[in-house]
Amino acid sequence: MECILVTELLPLYLEEQTGEESRKQIEDHIKICEKCKKELSYMKRSYGEASGYGKIKNIKQVWEKMRNKVLLGYGLLLLLTWIYIVICFL
């Protein structure tokens, strides 16, 4: 595989959008080509920082945790309200 082609496919490779065959070829090429290896590690870094590619997953996880807490909070609030009503009316 040509360096130019590998470099062009790297963004897709990082997003796991390449096919199985292309991915293998890219990985094989990176093993033997220092230039593309550097390019990949540089891209990985800029992907993590600039586009927040890694952060999106984190935000999703945080949101799921938060949602669970919110639901739990609502459940507790409902329960407390219900207890309050029962105590007041008995």
Binding site for Zn ion (CB under 5 A): 3, 33, 35-36
One-letter amino acid of 26: I
Two structure tokens written together for 70: 């919110």
Q: Of 21 and 89, which has the nearer Cβ to Zn ion?
A: 21
Please state, as a whole number, how many other Cβ atoms lie within 10 Å of the Cβ of residue 6. Answer: 23
Asked if 18 and 12 touch (Cβ cutoff 8 Å), the reply is: yes
Q: Of 39 and 53, which has the nearer Cβ to Zn ion?
A: 39
User: At closest approach, how far in Å is the CB of 4 from Zn ion?
Assistant: 8
Q: Of 35 and 60, which has the nearer Cβ to Zn ion?
A: 35
